[in-house]
Amino acid sequence: MLATLVTLKYCEADGRYFRLRPRALGLGLSYLNALPFWGYAQRALEDLRNDIGESCALAVLDETDIVYALRLPARRILSANLGIGSRLPAHLVSLGRVLLANLPPEQRDRHLANTPLRSVTPRTIIDTDRLARELRLTQERGYAWVDGELDPAICGIAVPIRDQGGSVVAAISINLISGTVSEVAAKKRYLVRLQKTAQDIRTQSVSTS
């Protein structure tokens, strides 16, 4: 496999060691450019971030993880070492909760059965039945709220992005400093703007497809 990547000029060899070449960037960019919503989502999330002054992100689901397709940090939150392509366990963050909640029921149940729930912070949900209830509630109310389950200093609210047929294909979030805002306050302050941004991304992707 490495020899093939070298031949295709995605890697180069240095004795027994290999390293990626700049051409490898094209693999990731090809995926992002293939997402019908990605180009407009970047502008939409930038507008949202500039409007509210908080960090915003977009992610997709890849098996048990979320993968960031966009992440726009705000100066108020110390930026973690996360960017495009970074992965996090889906069940621990608001983006992932939204994506898991909107899986077909049998796929969601399979995820719950096969995902070990380990305590990362004192707030981490480690009971499968409780997490299942949280996912059902997330689907019913149309948003996810997660506070300090992966990082005790960060909370987040997220909503789904749907395609033309109504299927959830991604999620967007606003991330905040834990302890500065409650779920009720975050919902009142940010949910409508977050939902409007998600709808704008969906509308734009449909109109350009």
Query: 42-90 pLDDT, tens per residue?
Result: 899 999 999 999 999 999 998 899 989 888 888 655 455 778 888 899 9
Contact between 45 and 69 (Cβ < 8 Å): no
DSSP assigned state of 179: T
Q: What is the model's pLDDT at position 26?
A: 61
Copy the structure tokens of residue 149: 């389950």
Report the percent of the chain where pLDDT is more than 70: 89
Domain boundaries, the chain: 1-34, 35-208
Whole-prediction pTM:
0.83
Closest of 98, 124, 128 to residue 111, by C-alpha = 128
Per-residue b or e along 150-160, where b marks 16 or more CB atoms closer than 10 Å to that residue's CB: bbeebbbbbbb
Q: What is the model's pLDDT at position 20?
A: 79
Write out pLDDT tens, residues 169-200. Answer: 999 999 999 999 999 999 999 999 999 999 99
Question: Is pLDDT above 70 for 154?
Answer: yes
Copy the structure tokens of residue 200: 């704008």
The partner residues of 177 in beta bridges, in order of sequence, read 154
In the three-class reduction of DSSP (H, G, I as helix; E, B as strand; rest coil), residue 85 is classed as: coil
Write out pLDDT tens, residues 161-171. Answer: 998 888 899 99
Helical (H) or strand (E) element with 158: strand 154-162
Write out pLDDT tens, residues 12-30. Answer: 888 888 887 777 766 666 6
State the architecture of 35-208 in CATH terms: 2-Layer Sandwich (3.30)
- End-to-end CA, the chain: 35
Q: What is the model's pLDDT at position 84?
A: 80
State the average pLDDT for the chain. Answer: 88
